[in-house]
């Protein structure tokens, strides 16, 4: 990997590190090292990185702000590409917003709301990036990305780029085509919003933000919702009724505030979280014969 690191550094594509601890780049503060860690300085640099990795036949994956992500204690083989500065541009024209995949979703929701544009109030408490939100069709408060996305600019694993419409993204509950048959990175997105009363829009956004702050444990490192809702049931309610709030393995604990969150209460390991997930799955199935599927993405060496 040292030769690859040198080639990437010589290409002047941005920040390049070896054996970077990914706990520094996830909201739950868990994760072993990435063999090589890259933050491209712009879209052209990102394309160059992908081309180099394809030529070198090296595995890679992209991350955003590290929410909704659980990285193995043993780390990740290959290269981890973080979308951040350089892919966080924004351009607003009338009711359309063109924004880079590395732009923080909360910041975007606040910005457009204050300009009297409605549609992203639901996202005011989702601590991810635009690219990650598009990738997983992030949602809350009865809405999601599919409701407002007009099109997304995707860099596919083979190095090709293409704009996909919202329909072509094949959105469903917390899922898009990027998780299925066409893996890739959302490098830009165009949102089509509605013009409205700025004061009312900001009021709704702040209400949603306050609700998440008051009901979800953001005072501890966490990865967001751990399980998908097994509709018509709700994951948090099932876990709470099963008496599992506060249940702890190692440094990982089922939140006492919201049972669909696992929080890092003290140097938790990924294995602690995985053991806790398995315990919840077994308990809920034994009690209710309901299968609990994870919403958090679990990656890295086994």
Active-site choice (20, 35, 188, 295): 295
Selecting among 129, 166, 225, 255, the annotated active-site residue is 225
C-alpha R_g of the chain: 19
- For strand 33-40 and strand 60-63, is the pairing parallel, antiparallel, or unpaired? unpaired
What secondary structure does DSSP assign to 98-146, as a single string? EEETTSBHHHHHHHHHHTTEES-GGGGG--SBHHHHHHHT-EETTEEGG
Whole-number Cα distances in Å, 63 to 83, 128, 171, 181, 219: 6, 10, 19, 19, 23
Q: Among the options 72, 174, 176, 188, which is catalytic?
A: 174
- Which residues are registered as beta bridge partners of 69? 297
CB atoms within 10 A of CB 23: 22
Tokens at 48, concatenated? 């160059």
According to DSSP, the residues that pair with 164 across neighbouring strands are: 152
Query: Could you give the CA distance from residue 204 to residue 122 in angstroms, rounded to a whole number?
Result: 9
Active site residue 295: yes
Instruction: Please tell me whether the peptide bond between 232 and the residue prior to it is cis, using omega within 30 degrees of 0.
Output: yes
∠ at Cα 239 (235, 240), nearest 5°? 115
Nearest residue to 37 (alpha-carbon basis) of 68, 57, 13: 13
Point out the residues that are catalytic: 174, 225, 295
């Amino acid at each position: 990997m040292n030769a690859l690191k040198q080639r990437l550094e010589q290409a002047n594509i941005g920040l390049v590190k070896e054996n970077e601890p990914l706990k520094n780049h996830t909201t739950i503060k868990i994760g072993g090292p990435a063999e090589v860690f890259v933050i491209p300085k712009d879209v052209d640099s990102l394309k160059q990185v992908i081309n180099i990795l394809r030529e070198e036949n090296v595995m890679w994956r992209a991350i955003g702000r590290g929410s909704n992500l659980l990285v193995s204690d043993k780390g990740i083989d290959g290269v981890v590409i973080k979308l951040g500065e350089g892919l966080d541009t924004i351009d607003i024209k009338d009711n359309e917003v063109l924004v880079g995949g590395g732009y923080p979703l909360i910041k975007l929701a606040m910005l457009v709301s204050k300009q009297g544009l409605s549609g992203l109030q639901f996202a005011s408490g989702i601590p991810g990036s635009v690219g990650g939100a598009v990738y997983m069709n992030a949602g809350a408060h009865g809405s999601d990305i599919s409701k407002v996305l007009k099109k997304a600019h995707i860099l596919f694993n083979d190095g090709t780029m293409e704009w996909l419409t919202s329909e072509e993204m094949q959105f469903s509950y917390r899922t898009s085509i990027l998780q299925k048959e066409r893996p890739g990175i959302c490098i830009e997105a165009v949102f089509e919003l509605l013009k409205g009363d700025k004061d009312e829009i900001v009021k709704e956004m702040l209400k949603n933000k306050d609700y998440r702050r008051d009901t979800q444990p953001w005072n501890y490192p966490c990865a967001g919702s751990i399980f998908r809702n097994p509709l018509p049931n709700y994951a948090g309610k099932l876990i709470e009724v099963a008496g599992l709030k506060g249940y702890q393995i190692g440094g990982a604990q089922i939140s006492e505030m919201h049972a669909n969150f696992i929080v890092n209460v003290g140097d938790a390991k990924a294995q602690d979280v995985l053991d806790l997930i398995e315990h919840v799955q077994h308990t809920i199935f034994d009690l209710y014969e309901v299968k609990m599927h994870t919403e958090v993405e679990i990656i890295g060496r086994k």
